Amino acid sequence: GENVEQHPSTLSVQEGDSAVIKCTYSDSASNYFPWYKQELGKRPQLIIDIRSNVGEKKDQRIAVTLNKTAKHFSLHITETQPEDSAVYFCASTGYSSASKIIFGSGTRLSIRP
Amino acid sequence: ETGVTQTPRHLVMGMTNKKSLKCEQHLGHNAMYWYKQSAKKPLELMFVYNFKEQTENNSVPSRFSPECPNSSHLFLHLHTLQPEDSALYLCASSQELAGVSSRADTQYFGPGTRLTVL
């Protein structure tokens, strides 16, 4: 069946450095790729998303890139800050299974002061 | 945040108990979702409802029974659960099904119900 692989499972970066999280999907019909941030004890919240007709999207320090040919997409966080520490989930869904959203296994990001 | 609420926030039950989880959204959304979040499988989609109709059952055991009486309310009825069912159960809603509309598919999550099965 369809799946989404996410790497790495844990990531530790120095404050101020960049962090990159990568996801690979299997369903070639997928057309929507959201990223969620979940802080400890809190609910997941959407931080950025990208659709299949776009290759890159930026929102301040956060950017997402999509390579449809290779079926992978990545989250980039620049100038990391302590409040960026959280678990990040990627997900994919598409017209072939609009209601079937598949999440990656999550990346625990820690920012070292 | 009060857009999506869930009750109870914590629940401890025995394997022979029957309990229900409730989710309510005040956002006027048409789609609602149940997720299970555990250490082994971080975010696992269980059920999807769109305009009160179930559109997805992700091979969930029958001891979990969803109910969606209207677009604002979603229930998860629990019966004869197993200890491995202990997890955080998250509800979410979106204006439209994810991936269908270009602007209305952002999912908003509730705070979750922390379920412990003894």
The answer to whether the CB atoms of B43 and A45 lie below 8 A apart is no
Report pLDDT digits (tens) over B14-29. 988 899 999 999 999 9
Report pLDDT digits (tens) over B76-97. 999 999 999 999 999 999 988 8
Highest mean pLDDT among B9-13, B38-42, B106-110 belongs to B9-13
Nearest chain B residue to A99 by CA distance is: B97
A89 touches chain B (CB under 8 A): yes
The answer to whether the CB atoms of A103 and B42 lie below 8 A apart is yes
- pLDDT, mean of residues A68-74: 95
Nearest chain B residue to A105 by CA distance is: B42
- Whether residue B116 is predicted with pLDDT greater than 60 in this model: the reply is yes
- Whether residue B103 is predicted with pLDDT greater than 70 in this model: the reply is no
Q: Would you state the structure tokens that stand for residue B1, as one six-digit string? A: 């945040």
The answer to whether the CB atoms of B55 and A106 lie below 8 A apart is no
pLDDT at B39: 82
The answer to whether the CB atoms of A103 and B44 lie below 8 A apart is yes
- pLDDT, mean of residues A32-56: 92
Which of B115, B53, B62 lies closest to B87 in space, CA to CA? B115
- pLDDT, mean of residues A8-25: 97
- pLDDT, mean of residues A6-15: 97
d(CA A94, CA A29): 6
Nearest chain A residue to B36 by CA distance is: A103
Lowest mean pLDDT among A38-42, A61-65, A107-111, B112-116: A38-42
Which of B97, B96, B78 lies closest to B87 in space, CA to CA? B78
3-state secondary structure of B58: coil
Report pLDDT digits (tens) over A85-104. 999 999 998 755 656 788 99
B111 touches chain A (CB under 8 A): yes
* Contacts for A31 with CB less than 8 Å, ≥ 6 apart: A51, A52, A53, A93, A94, A95, B99
B42 touches chain A (CB under 8 A): yes
The answer to whether the CB atoms of A100 and B58 lie below 8 A apart is yes
User: How close does chain B come to A45, measured CA to CA in Å?
Assistant: 7
pLDDT at B102: 62
The answer to whether the CB atoms of A99 and B31 lie below 8 A apart is yes
pLDDT band for position B40 (50/70/90)?
confident
pLDDT at A22: 98
A100 touches chain B (CB under 8 A): yes
- Whether residue A110 is predicted with pLDDT greater than 60 in this model: the reply is yes
